[in-house]
A = this chain, B = another copy of it.
Amino acid sequence: MSELLTIGAVADATGVTTSALRYYDDRGVISPAARIGGQRRFDPTVIGRVNFIQRSQQAGFSLDDIVAMLDDTAGQWRALVDRKLVELTDKRARIDEMIELLTEVRACGCDVVATCDRAPSC
């Protein structure tokens, strides 16, 4: 009963498929603690990391972005985070606009969006 996790255990704990985890490993987004008989064994902290990856992806980060943030040793990551914060704020604004637009379009009396004068003219 070791404290290291098989790839399947990590998959179960995170909801990420084993193939995706291997892909992350290949890409260097996560790093396996060890190999036992050729099989990956992960430190349990990888679960937090995978969760962080998922959240970041949902917020629009690419795997390269995430690698850059997580594996940065030159202290550049703060600048990257700053850029990403600007991007996120921007994206949020566009989503807000879209919510407003859709809410308005939804409230109109048109049968078809294409003929609604509120929709295509913004």
The answer to whether A122 and B81 touch across the interface, beta carbons within 8 angstroms, is: no
A2 within 8 A of B: no
Copies in the assembly, this chain: 2
Nearest-Cβ distance from residue A107 to partner chain B, whole angstroms: 10
Q: Mark A43-71, 1 if CB is under 8 A from B, else 0.
A: 00100110110011011100000000111
Instruction: List residues of A (56-112) whose CB comes within 8 Å of B's CBs.
Output: 56, 58-60, 69-73, 75, 77-78, 81-82, 84-85, 88-89, 91-92, 94-99, 101-103, 105-106, 111-112
Total contacting residues, chain A, CB less than 8 A? 45
A107 to B105, CA, bound (A): 41
The answer to whether B106 and A78 touch across the interface, beta carbons within 8 angstroms, is: yes
Nearest-Cβ distance from residue A8 to partner chain B, whole angstroms: 21
The answer to whether A113 and B49 touch across the interface, beta carbons within 8 angstroms, is: no
